[in-house]
A = this chain, B = another copy of it.
Amino acid sequence: MAAGLNRRFYCGVELTLEILQGKWKPVILAHLKEGPMRYGELRAAIPRLSDKMLSERLRDLEEQGLVSRFKIGRRGSPATYRLTRRADSLRSLLGTLNDWGLRVAPEVGAIVEYADVPALRRRRPPVAG
């Protein structure tokens, strides 16, 4: 997360915006705030986000140390993403961002409604489980 930030900022908001830059990072983080998610779950939860943007932004967030990726197997097997400990400090902020959006939605005629996230395929549990 430290890359290229060692300069002067004239208020805290400038720094925050630079770290959380872009359309999708805060949205991804906000969803992960609720718990670890599969790539496909994130995809379903954020319908307007393309595969390309999702994978790129996830990689950015990983490099920034805000998201960790857990994967069993190689290509084709699911990856799980979760907020890092480092990102814990963001939880309150993400909540506030969400709350404000929910609050102004009626004023601006917007509809905020979570997408259905289908239960994804899971590795068959052990028989003795």
A-B contact pairs, 8 of them (CB 8 A): A5-B108, A5-B109, A9-B105, A9-B111, A10-B115, A12-B98, A13-B27, A92-B100
Among A93, A105, A108, the most chain B Cβ lie within 10 Å of the Cβ of: A108
A96 at the interface (CB under 8 A from B): yes
Shortest A23–chain B CB gap in Å is 6
Cβ contact within 8 Å between A19 and B97:
no
Interface of A is mostly: helix
- Contacting chain B: which of A42-50, A70-78, A120-128? A42-50
Determine the distance from Cα of A97 to Cα of B100 in the docked complex, in whole angstroms: 12
CB of A102 within 8 Å of the partner chain: yes
Are B47's CB and A12's CB within 8 A? Answer: no
Q: Are B17 and A104 in contact (CB under 8 A)?
A: no
Q: Is the CB of A96 within 8 A of B98?
A: no
Closest B residue by C-beta to A111: B8
Q: Which residues of chain B are within 8 angstroms of A46 by Cβ–Cβ distance?
A: 10-11, 14
CA distance A112 to B47 in the complex (A): 36
